[in-house]
Structure 1
């Protein structure tokens, strides 16, 4: 799993053993999170229409409202299954940079340390709707049981907002499918947390969270580094090797250059 970044980003990640997880509403895809909320509301309203009782219809209305309320301070860090992809070099490592490769198991363990999740993005609309329907039916069943037990709280549609926060960060438009993206996905975060910060963007400040890239044993297991297309591939690889050695990576990771004949200089 590869994270594409500039040389400045690589220096920061390797030296600090942290990655900047960006607030989901400030990513390049303008429809991030809103796509899943739209799908969720459509599914909830469809199930509302097919319900046979006023109680069920009320629960589905509250679930739809819970979906609309989801998405407060969710942060993500992105990875691709492909470590040498032209669109990623253009978007995230130009002019010059690298992709940092990690094992799937390592990133899953990194997520678990802080109750985050590491999940693949879903691009196909039919698959998105099917998964959303399954999740919302689970929420509905729980809410129905709580109503019968006199313990139901209609705030955020019972568990609907929380389930959306877990799910919506992995719904993406199918036009991005080439990226084969996986995400470190946060739980809702407090913006008063010491690791919740802001950086200047092109037209706004961009909120982000400094996520430790450490497993339960306190190690960052970097396996592969690919230098971006550059007029000086040998120098690029040499400088990356010096960076890796400086911060303790003497034998690993494997280091190589992009095979894509892309010129951006």
Structure 2
């Protein structure tokens, strides 16, 4: 049986190291690039519409794996309570994401995300990005680290459950909801080549007599424009509807975009990209061409 007097250990995934990854890259079409610089906003979309169809399900399977490893160490009622809260947290909170990479010149990403190599990889200052009202962190691909996160979560919350009111433990529920949100930072190691960094924001899922609703509650960050509540919008994609918010970064300053990499099939020579950036108040960006020999 686990010791409820054990010291509290906050479960943690890897955090973004700004010194090792001062720039994070968003692969996109030229149309998306122009939208970003003209409207000074980043689009965060429903996690369930990402290219990995196992999003969140993969992380939940690692949670179950951690439970199975520890099944003899804790009360059965505790695991039942924990599973119920984790499941409810996923039902009532939806992560909206935008995806980046620490590598701005990967052929598979040019082909998949940047208009088959005709687009660009927009390099943002990672420290400034983290100041927005979002969660900014690298994706964890290692299943052992993922399971370890849930083992730590189970160990940390057990004493809280043991001494608390199981029927109304709102403090524990809030703690778990915050921790469960980081499940959006876990992916199948088959995607590790992407070296992905995600910016994520939680929106509330609500159901009432009028049907289903999504609501952005705002967030905390040094950039006030991104911290405000923003309307949930929808767009059509491959026969479905995708929920998203357009998160402004107007307070991020003129140096937010540090670099733009031209795709290997780009028709631009860099001058036009530089002009577009300067015309929209974004200064001093380095422009370079992909080294991929792809046509």
Does TM-score exceed 0.5, indicating one fold?
A: yes
Q: Secondary structure at the match of 2:202?
A: coil
Q: Distance in 2 between matches of 1:102 and 1:145?
A: 46
Could you say which residue in structure 2 is the equivalent of 1:107? 129
Residue 162 (str. 1) matches residue 195 (str. 2): no
2:48 — aligned with what?
25
Distance 1:126 1:59, change over 3 A: same
Other-structure match for 1:93: 114
Aligned partner of 2:239 among 199, 203, 209:
203
SS at the partner of 2:158?
helix
- Secondary structure, aligned partner of 1:68: helix
* Residue 249 of structure 1 pairs with residue 282 of structure 2: yes
Q: What is residue 121 of structure 1 aligned with on the other side? A: 139
Q: Match for residue 193 of structure 2?
A: 178
| Alignment partner of 2:96 out of 55, 58, 75 | 75
Point out where structure 2 has 5 or more consecutive residues left out of the alignment: 1-23, 206-213, 217-229
How many correspondences in the alignment? 248
- SS of aligned partner of 1:185: strand
Give 1:46 shift.
Answer: 3.9
- Offset from partner CA, 1:100-125 (integer Å, 9 cap, x none): 11122111112xxx2x2111111111
Counterpart of 1:102 in 2: which secondary structure?
A: strand
For residues 17 and 136 of structure 1, what CA distance do their matches in structure 2 show?
41
Query: Normalising by structure 2, what TM-score?
Result: 0.77
RMSD: 2.4
Of Structure 1 and Structure 2, which has the larger fraction of its residues in strand?
2
Where structure 1 has 5 or more consecutive residues not aligned to the other structure, the ranges are: none
In structure 2, relative to structure 1, the CA distance for the partners of 1:16 and 1:136 (3 Å cut) is: farther
Find the aligned partners of 2:266 and 2:119 in 1 and give their Cα distance: 12
SS at structure 2 position matched to 1:138: helix
Which residue number corresponds to residue 259 of structure 1? 291
